[in-house]
Chains A and B, each alone.
Chain A
Amino acid sequence: MAVSTDPIDGTRLKEQFPLLSREVHGKPIVYLDSAATSQKPLSVLNAMDDYYRTINSNVHRGVYMIAEEATNRMEIARALVRDFIGARSSSEIIFTKNATEALNMVAQSWGRANLSAGDVVVLSHMEHHANIVPWHMLAAEIGIQLRWIPLDTEGRLDLTELDTLLDGAKVLSVTAMSNVLGTMNPVRTLTDAARKAGAISMIDGCQSVPHGTTNVQELGADFLAFSGHKMCGPTGIGVLYGREDLLEAMPPFLGGGEMIRDVRLDGFTTNDLPWKFEAGTPAIAEIIGLGAAVEWLNGVGMDNIRAHEVSLTEYTISTLHQRFGDRINIHGPTSALERGGVFSFDFDGLHPHDISQVLDQHAVCVRAGHHCAKPLMKLLGIGATARASVYVYNDTADIDALADALDATGAFFTL
Chain B
Amino acid sequence: MPGLEDLYREIILDHYRNPRNRGELETPPAHRVEGFNPLCGDEIVLYLDLDADGRVADIRISGQGCSISQSSASMMSAAVKGKTVAEIDDLTRAFKAMMSIHENSLEGAETTEPIDAPDVKLGDLEALRGVVKFPVRIKCATLAWNTLAQGIEESSA
**A351:B4 contact, CB within 8 angstroms:** no
Give Cα distance in the complex from A346 to B70, angstroms: 18
* Residues of chain A lying within 8 A (CB to CB) of residue B41: 369-370, 377, 382-384
* Residues of chain A lying within 8 A (CB to CB) of residue B137: 353, 357
Q: Which residue of A lies closest to B63 (CB)?
A: A383
Give Cα distance in the complex from A13 to B77, angstroms: 52
**Overall SS of chain B's interface:** mixed
* Residues of chain B lying within 8 A (CB to CB) of residue A361: 3-4
**A357:B64 contact, CB within 8 angstroms:** no
Q: Which single member of B1, B13, B67, B134 contacts A351 (CB below 8 Å)?
A: B67
Give Cα distance in the complex from A382 to B40, angstroms: 11
Whether, in the assembled complex, A25 has its beta carbon less than 8 Å from a beta carbon of chain B, the answer is: yes
**A354:B43 contact, CB within 8 angstroms:** no
Q: Which single member of B1, B13, B42, B68 contacts A413 (CB below 8 Å)?
A: B13
Give Cα distance in the complex from A377 to B140, angstroms: 19
**B42:A383 contact, CB within 8 angstroms:** yes
**A369:B40 contact, CB within 8 angstroms:** yes
Whether, in the assembled complex, B7 has its beta carbon less than 8 Å from a beta carbon of chain A, the answer is: yes
**Residue-by-residue, is B14-38 near A (CB-CB < 8 Å gives 1, otherwise 0)?**
0010000000000000000000000
Q: What's the least CB distance linking A24 to chain B, in Å?
A: 10
**Residue-by-residue, is B42-55 near A (CB-CB < 8 Å gives 1, otherwise 0)?**
11000000000000
Whether, in the assembled complex, A352 has its beta carbon less than 8 Å from a beta carbon of chain B, the answer is: yes
* Residues of chain B lying within 8 A (CB to CB) of residue A353: 40, 66, 68, 137, 140
**Residue-by-residue, is A378-395 near B (CB-CB < 8 Å gives 1, otherwise 0)?**
000011100000000000
Give Cα distance in the complex from A24 to B49, angstroms: 47
Cross-chain pairs A/B with CB under 8 angstroms, 11 sampled: A351-B64, A351-B67, A353-B137, A353-B140, A361-B3, A361-B4, A369-B39, A377-B41, A383-B43, A384-B41, A413-B67
Beyond A383-B64, A384-B40, A413-B13, list 18 extra A-B contacts (CB 8 Å).
Answer: A351-B64, A351-B65, A353-B40, A353-B66, A353-B137, A357-B7, A357-B134, A361-B4, A368-B40, A369-B39, A369-B40, A383-B40, A383-B41, A383-B42, A384-B41, A412-B8, A413-B16, A415-B13
* Interface set of B (CB-CB < 8 Å, partner A): 1, 3-4, 7-8, 13, 16, 39-43, 64-68, 70, 134, 137, 140
